[in-house]
Amino acid sequence: MNTSMARVVFVYGFALSFFLFHAFADAGLIRGSGRGSRTASAAEEFYLVNNIHANRLGLAFDYQAISSTSLQVGRFAAGAAERGCYREFEFGDPEYDNFVDDPCYYQFNLGERLQFTGFTSIFLSNADRIEAIWSIRQGLNRWQFVSDASNSETTLDVLMPADLIPGEYSVSLTYYFYSGNDTSFFYNPDNHNNFPNNCGELIPGDPNSYTCAYDYEQRDSLSFGATERMVILAAVIDSPSSLVLLLFSGLLLIRRMKN
């Protein structure tokens, strides 16, 4: 076998092995994609308040919130897939213990656009700034995208990065809320105590300043996130006839080289 002939056989063999890698990778990834899980959540309330209502003891009893929102028992703070991918239960629902969740995952072929849909159940529309950030991770590799955050539902439609290869990735969506100047977020850190109070002297050493305030957590920013799975599939060659055509083309090429 001469050198040019050996080169043709090597190139053709490499192309055939590449096709076989795609076919087997495709089948394996479909079998391994996504599993459902159950998530419990408790009721929480969040407030955006002008800082004039805050003092060293906490949040004054007579505060007035600029805006507020709450997370109900059994609901998700955020989802990295559309709401239809989740089943929400009321507290004490007997179906919860026997419920088997369907997989929630995204699946794309190489070269397709990445299209994600997510949401947050906690939305403070009067926040100074709101961001919705998507992150794709696999090992140490990470890609980030920004999507519209003008409401509690968000979508992303972007070109697939060229360096994403067939495999399984985690996909995270995180909503970030920033209070801005002169305002803060407050929330009850103890869901089992509806009226967490903190009492004392508002001015240390002055007994006449003794008062009480809500012992809420105070933050300049809040974030709520969730993670799902994504599967990138190899490009699929349709039907076994494509493999036959590839083999036939290779044989013709080898025959021509002999002649």
202-to-65, 188, 216 alpha-carbon distances in Å: 21, 21, 16
**Predicted confidence band at 100 (pLDDT cuts at 50, 70, 90)?**
low
Give the pLDDT confidence score for residue 85 in this predicted structure. Answer: 74
Give the pLDDT confidence score for residue 12 in this predicted structure. Answer: 37
Give the pLDDT confidence score for residue 149 in this predicted structure. Answer: 95
Give the DSSP per-residue string, 99-152: --PPP-EEEEETTPPEEEEEEES---TTSSEEEEEEEEEETTEEEEEEE--SSS
**Predicted confidence band at 49 (pLDDT cuts at 50, 70, 90)?**
very high
Tell me the whole-structure pTM to 2 decimals.
Answer: 0.70
Range picked from 86-90, 141-145, 252-256 for highest mean pLDDT: 141-145
pLDDT in tens, 184-201: 999 887 665 666 688 998
pLDDT in tens, 149-164: 999 999 999 999 999 9
**Predicted confidence band at 14 (pLDDT cuts at 50, 70, 90)?**
very low
Rounded Cα distance between 244 and 237, Å, is: 11
Which residues lie across from 185 on neighbouring strands? 48, 219
Please compute the mean of the pLDDT values over residues 241-251 and round it to a whole number: 44
Rounded Cα distance between 76 and 83, Å, is: 9
Cβ 177 vs Cβ 222: under 8 Å? yes
Rounded Cα distance between 183 and 186, Å, is: 10
Spatial neighbors of 189 by CB under 8 A, at least 6 apart, are 196, 216, 217
Cβ 254 vs Cβ 6: under 8 Å? no
pLDDT in tens, 195-226: 668 899 888 888 898 999 998 989 999 999 98
**Predicted confidence band at 71 (pLDDT cuts at 50, 70, 90)?**
confident
